Structure 1
Amino acid sequence: MTDLVLPPGVILILAGLALPFVRHTARQILMIAAPLMVLLAVWALPDGTSLTLDYLGLTLEPVKVDALSRLFATVFALMAFAGGLFALNQQNARELAAAFVYAGSAIGVTLAGDLVTVFIFWEVMAIASTIVVWSGGPEARGSGLRYAAIHFLGGVFLMAGIAGVVAETGSTAFGPMEATSFPTILILAAFLINAGAPPLAAWLPDAYPRASWSGTVFLSAFTTKTAVYTLIRGYPGEEILIWIGLYMVFYGIVYAILENDMRRILAYSIVNQVGFMVCAVGIGTPLALNGAAGHAFAHIIYKALLLMSAGSVLYMTGKSKCTDLGGLFRTMPVSCICGIVGALAISAFPLTSGFVAKSMISDAAGAEKMVVVYFLLAAASAGVFLHAGIKFPWFVFFQKDSGLRPQDPPWNMRAAMIFCAVLCIGLGVWYSPFYAILPYPVDYVPYDASHVIFYLQLLLFSGLAFFLMLGALKRTLTITLDVDWFWRRGGRAIAEEFEFQWLRAYGVIVEGFWRKLRLVIEGLYVNYGPDGPWSRTRPSGAMALWVSLLLTGFLLFSYI
């Protein structure tokens, strides 16, 4: 063991476990202070391994720092701070405790240098995030169970894959792998499940909108982006990820355009944006990996900002459907403006964080002569502006007047939104410090004429298309079916049929058993009942004769 260093994520986990046991004021102070302590701890750690342990003959590295892990740990700590600030009014201490354990576990994954430590924090993340979903109320119970089932399935894949890798190599080190063996394919599948990749992507829009107004903000930040981190770390350049990422990109766009619930729009948008990152990991060049890491960093912040804006609307109105909202810009200006900033950032509008990060991904595809990928990513960028850049703020804060007149939420919620909005613009304007902490040296200039003109044309024409097709895009009280139907309805039908067939078979088995038992009892009664042959009185002489015969037979047998 090296000099003992407490993993920074554990600090946040311990703070989370303490939250239910401290008074309200102390709880609020801890929610603000603990993430800042973790942020300082992350940057105080030197590069390299700071903690090693020997376990069952294996060398574990719970704390190993490089540029990639420090980048993700930094943004996770910032997100824990912003989420804690936004959730100061949350009275559900169980949710707050789970959210901080969740955030700490995500940091634990990013700083883990071995697969065993990754697995431990991975499973703690699954448990804590499930509790966050359940904290949304009774209606979240079913979604939470489905969420847990899928993530525990991913945990089984991860555990089996790690066991296979250790058996093959004798090492638990977490580094680049190739999906050429069954264990490494299992590990890749586990990472993709958490990333929201097909065919199980529907767990995300099923569960996240069921969480509370504050819980969804935490959920948006950690699970999918931790998966992106592990893909960058473990599978850079895995070509299949390009096509999986592109599927996620368009899947998220289509369903977000169809959706009526504002938080489900943003949930599908998470899948869409993570698709860009997964595609970049598949491209695998330093520029692409910088784009994936930088886009993940920026996405965590602007997606949290969008969900804070939506959460503020839900907190003040109790409504989440676009058909019930509209005209809120009059009385919720801070929420509206911050939502617009987040919408511009997710659309990669110049002078926002999304522009300086996402543009690296499409340029990486162009540099590798991946023409089809480049144009598909460009088309997807226009689709993002349609569903998240315009649709969300337009239908929630503008469109027809809903008659609702809520005020902006309490000061802490406004402060959290302003903090994230400042980061979105600050990273887009002063991008050099941001590029300096990316995992690879950056030789990339985002603000040249071709980049800016291309994205402005793309976004402006996308906006024009939105308003020209506004009548077709107006939402109605409809429900969109996703692949989760197979386990929400189809799975239930199969379970009910199985239960019916089992009960019928069970009845046949039980009836047969009792019939046989009755026959046995009747036979015993016939032979041993009052009139049975074995119940008759026997003369003692006859019994003596039988005993003599048996003894004679035994004697003769002993001489043979």
Structure 2
Amino acid sequence: MIPEFHPVWPFLIAAALVPVTRGWLRAVVLLAAPIIGGLQFFDMELDVTRSMSLLGLELIPYRADSLSYIFGIAFHIGALMSILFALKVRDTLQQVSGLLYIAAGMGVLFAGDLLTLFIQWELLGLTSAGLIFAGRTPEAVAAGLRYLVYQVLSGVLLMAGALLIWLDTGSLAFEAMTLDGPATWLIFLAFGLKAGFPLLHNWIPDSYPAGTPTGSVFLCIFTTKAAIYALARGFPGTELLIYIGAVMAFFPIFYAIIENNLRRVLSYSIINQLGFMTVGIGIGTELSLNGTAAHAFAHIIYKALLFMSMGALLQQAGTVSASKLGGLYRQMPWTATFCIIGAASISAFPLLSGFVSKAMIMSALIKTDHLLIWLVMLFASAGVLEHAGIKIPYFGFFSRHGHAEAREAPLNMLLAMGLAAFLCIGIGVYPQALYAILPYDYEYWPYDVTHVLIQMQLLLFATLAIVWMHRSGRYPAEIPSTNLDADWFARRAVPTLAQRIHATLTAAGNWLSSTGWRVGSSVVTSNVERGLGRTSPVGTMALWVAILLAVMLMFGILEV
């Protein structure tokens, strides 16, 4: 049986209590969920599985080991920060969606079989969509629908792959896999879609900025990191991931530079940081996998801090457009300070969390002789300094472009940002606390002279390059614009083709209904009588249902 206190239960119970509570009692319920859930991690027993039988299937709904443990701690910290930041929100939809979303994320981390993983995987997408729909604007609704299509499509790919594995092996265990057949490729793509692989990434900059000021903080924590966990669990050492991750770290830099909406800048920055984690998974050594887990842990904290600072700006000033903001460090000094700490952390300044986690992945690249990829990631690190380390705090609080007015963020928001800033500094100053809970027992020290000097030189020359670009007029102007990304194919090119296909299919359907129906029905009846229906296995029929559902979802993408 499942353990009495599965990590999902505090959040499920809180989600059930929120609609029937008000005021301070609701606040207590909200905060109690991550606190109670987190306390059980102090004495959690690892390398434990619990199995159950369902309709002849052997399922493992609970598996706790060192990998799920560190991600579970990070998720609880992220849950506490995001709930505290949103504590004064008077919107039951957001609060219930957020709690169920966190519960689904926990379910993914502790799923030991593909069926349990699929159920939690789909719940992760469905529940998080409520944080986008809660914007209650036509733009938010449209973005939420597009977001849902991508999330459900990821689940369909996962289900199809799981069915093929079950048909082939008779097992649904969620273990390490290799790309040796259609089943594992389908699962690989399912994980990659949620992780923001190139050309599959558009839902991140499309939907995250459409969330509410507080909802986007939840969104930036759980979905993509659950996908990174799944890749680390399912495909460690898959070399293809090294090159995919390098592209992910590289290309978002250019979109972030020209983007005017600062929450979209952070969304592209998420893809960039996921690239580092993906490279670490692809290398597959103990050092690189530890680096991936550590970087995911640190990323949850500093990215949440940056999204919280931009959420506070959006709530207090009414905008996060770089061309409209400026000079708000006087009115919002605490928010500006916390934003700077988050920006310095993501830029991997020494003595901050981003440095001690990213260093492990960069060291693993050198140790495995991936010099070219190391150079690409070095360039990507310089790009992070530009678009997240400098652009976000500068245009958010210090530029003179706009004339927005605002007051300092509420106390609960400041406390949440303060907690994140404290952790960014604490992990950077004392990395042993993070290294002690990493999945593998591998000794590593980030503050060797060579690495510190390389990083400081990188930061110095990247800063000088940005200053030169600004002073010489070569830096792109901050103007409202629509930047074309790969979603152009889904929104423009493919719909045009789909309309023509739809017209052709409609004509064919009309012909079938008028002249071909009798012929078709007689053929089907004849085959059924010969035993086709009796000899098709249930799994095969379910696989065809999954394929048909995937086709329907693709048409749904085109219409949305």
Q: State the TM-score, normalized to the length of structure 1.
A: 0.88
Whole-angstrom CA distance in 2 between matches of 1:117 and 1:342: 35
Whole-angstrom CA distance in 2 between matches of 1:202 and 1:91: 30
Give the direction of change, closer, same or farther, for the CA distance of 1:4–1:362 in structure 2 (3 Å limit). closer
Whole-angstrom CA distance in 2 between matches of 1:324 and 1:125: 34
Cα offset, 1:50, TM superposition:
4.8
2:379 aligned with 1:376, yes or no? no
Amino acid corresponding to residue 46 of structure 2 in structure 1:
D
Give the direction of change, closer, same or farther, for the CA distance of 1:4–1:302 in structure 2 (3 Å limit). closer
Whole-angstrom CA distance in 1 between matches of 2:81 and 2:362: 30
Aligned to 2:199, what secondary structure does the other structure show? coil
- Contact in 1 for aligned 2:104/2:121 (Cα 8 Å): yes
2:351 aligned with 1:348, yes or no? no
State the partner residue of 1:180: 180
Amino acid corresponding to residue 254 of structure 2 in structure 1:
V
State the partner residue of 1:476: 479
CA offsets 1:302-336 (integer angstroms, 9 cap, x no match): 00000000000000011121001111111111111
Q: Please give the residue correspondences for 1:350-365 in structure 2 after superposition, counting only pairs within 5 Å.
A: 350-365=350-365
- Contact in 2 for aligned 1:436/1:442 (Cα 8 Å): no
Q: Please give the residue correspondences for 1:341-490 in structure 2 after superposition, counting only pairs within 5 Å.
A: 341-400=341-400, 402-470=402-470, 471=473, 472-490=475-493
Amino acid corresponding to residue 264 of structure 1 in structure 2:
R
Whole-angstrom CA distance in 2 between matches of 1:163 and 1:18: 36
Whole-angstrom CA distance in 1 between matches of 2:244 and 2:412: 39
Amino acid corresponding to residue 365 of structure 1 in structure 2:
L
State the partner residue of 1:239: 239
Q: Please give the residue correspondences for 1:92-491 in structure 2 after superposition, counting only pairs within 5 Å.
A: 92-138=91-137, 139-400=139-400, 402-470=402-470, 471=473, 472-491=475-494
Whole-angstrom CA distance in 2 between matches of 1:188 and 1:58: 23
- Contact in 2 for aligned 1:365/1:371 (Cα 8 Å): yes
Greater RCO between the two (CA within 8 Å, min separation 6)? 2
Q: State the TM-score, normalized to the length of structure 2.
A: 0.88
Whole-angstrom CA distance in 2 between matches of 1:187 and 1:496: 30
Whole-angstrom CA distance in 1 between matches of 2:364 and 2:280: 8
CA offsets 1:17-50 (integer angstroms, 9 cap, x no match): 3322221322211111111111122333311225
CA offsets 1:200-226 (integer angstroms, 9 cap, x no match): 111110010000000100000011100
- Contact in 2 for aligned 1:7/1:62 (Cα 8 Å): no
Cα offset, 1:402, TM superposition:
2.4
Whole-angstrom CA distance in 1 between matches of 2:393 and 2:303: 13
State the partner residue of 1:45: 44
Amino acid corresponding to residue 180 of structure 2 in structure 1:
T
State the partner residue of 1:31: 30
Aligned to 1:54, what secondary structure does the other structure show? strand
Which ranges of structure 2 fall in alignment gaps of 5 or more residues? 516-560
Cα offset, 1:142, TM superposition:
1.0
Give the direction of change, closer, same or farther, for the CA distance of 1:81–1:182 in structure 2 (3 Å limit). same
Give the direction of change, closer, same or farther, for the CA distance of 1:375–1:506 in structure 2 (3 Å limit). closer
Give the direction of change, closer, same or farther, for the CA distance of 1:288–1:501 in structure 2 (3 Å limit). same
- Contact in 2 for aligned 1:106/1:121 (Cα 8 Å): yes
Residues paired across the two proteins, number: 511
CA offsets 1:361-382 (integer angstroms, 9 cap, x no match): 0110000111111111111111
Aligned to 1:328, what secondary structure does the other structure show? coil
Give the direction of change, closer, same or farther, for the CA distance of 1:502–1:237 in structure 2 (3 Å limit). closer
Aligned to 2:157, what secondary structure does the other structure show? helix
Amino acid corresponding to residue 466 of structure 1 in structure 2:
I
Which ranges of structure 1 fall in alignment gaps of 5 or more residues? 514-560
Aligned to 2:60, what secondary structure does the other structure show? strand
Give the direction of change, closer, same or farther, for the CA distance of 1:150–1:15 in structure 2 (3 Å limit). same
Amino acid corresponding to residue 410 of structure 1 in structure 2:
P
Whole-angstrom CA distance in 1 between matches of 2:5 and 2:456: 47
Give the direction of change, closer, same or farther, for the CA distance of 1:49–1:367 in structure 2 (3 Å limit). same
Aligned to 1:331, what secondary structure does the other structure show? coil
Cα offset, 1:426, TM superposition:
0.4
Whole-angstrom CA distance in 2 between matches of 1:164 and 1:506: 31
State the partner residue of 2:17: 18
Larger Rg: 1
Whole-angstrom CA distance in 2 between matches of 1:45 and 1:507: 62
Give the direction of change, closer, same or farther, for the CA distance of 1:240–1:506 in structure 2 (3 Å limit). closer
Whole-angstrom CA distance in 1 between matches of 2:123 and 2:510: 43
Whole-angstrom CA distance in 2 between matches of 1:121 and 1:474: 43
Aligned to 2:51, what secondary structure does the other structure show? strand
Aligned to 1:247, what secondary structure does the other structure show? helix
Whole-angstrom CA distance in 2 between matches of 1:240 and 1:509: 45
CA offsets 1:388-415 (integer angstroms, 9 cap, x no match): 1111111111121523231111000000
Cα offset, 1:500, TM superposition:
6.2
Amino acid corresponding to residue 475 of structure 1 in structure 2:
E
Whole-angstrom CA distance in 1 between matches of 2:220 and 2:50: 30
* Higher mean C-alpha displacement, 24-33 vs 155-164: 24-33
